[in-house]
Each structure stands twice: as structure tokens, then as C-alpha cells.
Copies of this chain bind each other. A is one copy, B any other.
């Protein structure tokens, strides 16, 4: 990569990191591009050079999560066997929500964010594919409802601040809870 491109990527990431910090402290609704400029000691037009609007910045903030979700779904979909496929999806989903729990907590409490994500061009399709992988474990309404309880329960628990446990403990118990809800047995370990 040319030096100029490296620099552009670096400064773009600095804006994203500053935005996440400000969203956490002031919510998405309470954060302006001017505040991001002030935080980094640059002009507002420097921020505008990378992000034309707060919405565009938000998309950049959630893009890594969406990429991780897509990878998880594609990895799972490539596996033969409904139970193994569902278990792979569940494991990846738990990793994702635990890894991004603070950011998710900030974002879902923000009605402006919820609306932007609801109309995101690829996110709703990914969520449908993800739900289908889990719902396929059991045909009919029961499978649909269990998939929804598992996904919503895991995401809601990961981003709540009611629990005082480390990430590994959280990940392990969320995975176990999801497997129980869906009726999946923990896979035997490979030798």
C-alpha cells in the first residue's frame, strides 16, 4: 500500500475510534461531527473528508461487526449436518456479541441507531439467514421460536451490565444456554 493510502486508512480508523468513545459517553444522538473533530484536535472539514454524515460514520463503526457476522454465517452454511451447522453459528454468534458487547449496549439503546440498522441494506438479510440456520434444527413454529429466544436472549444478556463475570465465563455460559434452548448437544472434541 502506498504511504498516502496507509495514512488515509490510519486517520479514518482514528475517527472511528474517537466516534466509538464519544458514542459510549454521549450516545449516538448526542455526538456531532464537530465533537469528533474537537476530540482529535482537527477541523470539522477534516472529519468531513472521511465521513459526510454521522450516519456514514455509524455505518463504518458497525461494519466490522457485520463483516464478522457474515463470515460466521458463511462458515456455518458450508457445514453439512443441521446440528453441527447450528452449533457453529451459535458459537460464532456468542463470540461476536461478547466481543462487541459495550458497543452493542450503546447502539441498541439509541433509537436513531436502531432505525438506521433496521434499514441497513445487508443486515436484515444476514439476520434472516442466521435465524434460519438455528430454526432448521426443528421444523415448524417451535424451531422458529426457539431460534428467536436463543438469539435475542444471548444478545440481550451479553450487552446487559447486570452480570459481573469475565468474558470467557460469559461466553461459555451463553453458549451452553443457547445449546440447551435449541436442543443441541455440545459436540465431542476432536482428538
Contacts and interface: CB of A to CB of B under 8 A. Distances in A.
A113 to B, nearest CB: 11
A86 B154 CA distance: 20
Most buried by B among A110, A148, A163, A169: A148
Contacts of A165: 141, 144-145
Interface string A134-176: 0000000110111011111110110010110100011001101
A177 B135 CA distance: 12
Given A144-B163, A174-B149, A181-B177, A156 B156 contact: yes
Given A111-B111, A146-B177, A178-B149, A141 B169 contact: yes
Interface residues of A, number: 33
Contacts of A151: 153
Nearest to A169: B141
A149 B169 contact: no
B162 A148 contact: yes
A149 B153 contact: yes
A26 interface: no
Contacts of A150: 149, 153, 177, 181
A7 interface: no
A153 B158 CA distance: 12
A11 interface: no
6 contacts: A145-B173, A146-B180, A149-B149, A149-B156, A180-B180, A180-B183
Interface of A: 109-111, 114, 141-142, 144-146, 148-154, 156-157, 160, 162-163, 165, 169-170, 173-174, 176-178, 180-183
